[in-house]
Amino acid sequence: MFRLIFQMVVIGLCSMLFGFAFNTFLIPHKLTSGGVTGIAFFIHHFTNMNTGTVILLINIPLFLLGLKYLGKKFILLTGYSVFVLSFSMKFIPVHAISPDILLSSIIGGALYGIAVGLIIRIGGSTGGTDIISLTLAKKKNVQVGFLNTCLNLLVVAGSGLIFGWNITLYTIIAIYVAGRAVDMVYTTHHKLTLTIVTDQYEELTEALIHLHLRGVTVTDAEGAYTHRPKKVLTTVITKFELNETKHTIRKIDPKAFVNITQTLEVMGRFRKD
């Protein structure tokens, strides 16, 4: 229960930071981002509907899609994030803090990227393309990064046609800075290899298999300092499972030594659902 409350507090604060970044740095200068947020901004431009309201309306059918494939807890946290974001964008005034468009694109992109990275790290998402990408990655083996890049390119192209290519160049800066900010607070690789040295290998192995429905390799080892027998567990997970995996390891064996490495490619059977 404490963990859920902590997740909701962090996600709520980060969602408000997301809304603040858009309403005070990006939207006043007609700067946008990729994905659903960018599409919502275009709809706002032509209809004058509040951007936060449009984001919520677009995400409702996506929640139903994600509920089927991504699990109730993930979708509930994502829905909470989108609701707080929509609420904050509705009530935070759309007013530029700085008249400098370059400075606004950098600061706005950084704040928005940090908010998104922390939300993902804590176990949620900001909805939109995250739900689409994760669902397709599980069911169709579509690369998440490739899909997000395509959607960003579409938004950037739309921004250029609607607002002019000069403003679009600043939009690209904002998207790039946001991406780098996400990288700073969360891993950018899709697959991660976990090497775990533990005394509670039976309980931990069972918990990891139950959590991910994937195999875990158990290897005999010996501590060089203590000369005590140890077990080394090796498994591969996706980046979106990292937060829950670390929580499970800490809960079962707080003293476990865990080495997390970036995995370039996985061959053979790797369960995605």
Is residue 143's pLDDT more than 60?
Answer: no
CA 266 to chain centre: 21
More confident residue, 235 or 35: 235
Q: Look up tokens 């390799």; give the residue.
A: 217
CB 173 within 8 A of CB 109: yes
Prediction pTM value: 0.69
The half-sphere exposure of 221 on its side-chain side, counting CA atoms within 13 A, is 18
Predicted confidence (pLDDT) per residue in 15-44, tens digit: 999 999 999 999 899 888 777 888 888 888
Predicted confidence (pLDDT) per residue in 65-124, tens digit: 777 767 777 788 888 998 999 899 889 999 999 999 999 999 999 998 899 888 887 877
Distance from C-alpha of 267 to C-alpha of 265, rounded to nearest angstrom: 7
More confident residue, 181 or 140: 181
Distance from C-alpha of 57 to C-alpha of 55, rounded to nearest angstrom: 6
What's the mean pLDDT in 135-162? 68
pLDDT category at 190 given cuts 50, 70, 90 is: low
Residue 202 has a CB neighbour count (10 Å cut-off) of 12
Q: Look up tokens 């501590």; give the residue.
A: 223
CB 88 within 8 A of CB 15: yes
Is residue 269's pLDDT more than 70?
Answer: no
Please give the mean pLDDT across all residues of the chain.
Answer: 83
